[in-house]
Amino acid sequence: MEETQDYEFQLYINIDEVRMLYNHINYAIETWPGSPARPPEEQEYLKQLKTQLFAMISDYTFEYG
């Protein structure tokens, strides 16, 4: 089976779930075992995801206090 970058999904979650996911991603970054146990791209992806989740939390906080 050929992998493709074009296949995407959408996930709808509420702000509490975004916060839980953000906390879990933080934990994953803090406890990341490093390479070669895990691929280095994984750590970079986790950092990008953390930034995106933080932006969601910030946007919600700005909108709704």
> Per the domain annotation, does 9 fall within a domain?
no
pLDDT at residue number 42: 95
Domain that holds residue 22: 15-64
Q: In the prediction, which pLDDT does 62 show?
A: 97
Does residue 3 sit within a domain? Answer: no
Amino acid (one-letter) located at 62: F
Position 22 in a domain: yes
Instruction: Assess if residue 28 is contained within a domain.
Output: yes
Report the predicted TM-score, pTM, of the whole model to 2 decimal places. 0.85
Residue 2 covered by a domain: no
Number of domains into which the chain is organized: 1
Residue (of 33, 31, 11, 35) closest to 23 by Cα position: 31
> Is 6 a member of any domain?
no
Residue 35 lies in a domain: yes
Kindly give the confidence (pLDDT) of every residue in the chain, 65 residues in length, as a single tens digit, with 9 standing for 90 and above.
Answer: 566 678 889 999 999 999 999 999 999 999 999 999 999 999 999 999 999 999 999 999 999 98
